[in-house]
């Protein structure tokens, strides 16, 4: 399986979805874009890592699951608190997802996201 990035976690229709994914996300109302690496572990565990190194210490941990053709993830920040969710659907074959993220259990309202398999 492969991995993904946060704030929120996404995976696609592919088998396996586990692995490392590089996520770029935007914040509604802001002119900024941020990069994370989401690591989806076999089973349902996910780590969000700041930057592009999937082996770095996680900034958030949580769970992920399939949501129709896409993926949904919820993660809690290890420092400073806060829970974020994301949901995405395949944009291209099994190498990219697009979707949204939000605070708490709601995967919308925070901004957009794009995830590429690493």
Per residue in 52-80, pLDDT (tens digit) is: 777 888 888 999 888 777 888 899 999 88
β-strands 83-92, 96-103 pairing: antiparallel
Q: What domains does the chain contain, in order, with CATH numbers? A: 19-117 (2.40.128.120)
Q: Give the C-alpha separation, 113 to 62, whole Å.
A: 18
Q: For the chain, what is the radius of gyration of the CA atoms?
A: 12
User: Mean pLDDT for the chain?
Assistant: 75
Q: Give the C-alpha separation, 18 to 35, whole Å.
A: 19
Q: Give the C-alpha separation, 77 to 75, whole Å.
A: 7
pLDDT tens for the chain, 118 residues long, are 333 333 333 333 333 456 677 777 778 877 777 777 888 787 788 888 887 777 888 888 999 888 777 888 899 999 888 999 988 887 765 677 888 989 999 999 988 888 777 7
Residue 20, token pair as written in the block = 């490392």
Q: For 96, phi and psi rounded to 5 degrees?
A: -150, 150
Residue 87, strand partner residues: 72, 100
């Amino acid at each position: 399986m492969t991995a993904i990035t946060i704030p929120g976690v996404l995976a696609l229709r592919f088998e396996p979805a586990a692995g490392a994914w590089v996520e770029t996300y935007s914040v509604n109302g802001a002119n900024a874009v941020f990069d994370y690496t989401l690591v989806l572990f076999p089973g349902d565990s996910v780590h969000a890592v700041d930057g592009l190194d999937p082996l770095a210490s996680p900034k958030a941990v949580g769970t992920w699951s399939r949501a129709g053709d896409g993926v949904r993830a919820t993660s809690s920040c290890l420092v400073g608190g806060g829970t974020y969710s994301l949901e995405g659907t395949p944009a291209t074959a099994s190498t990219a997802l697009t979707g949204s993220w939000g605070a708490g259990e709601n995967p919308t309202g925070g901004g957009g996201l794009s995830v590429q398999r690493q």
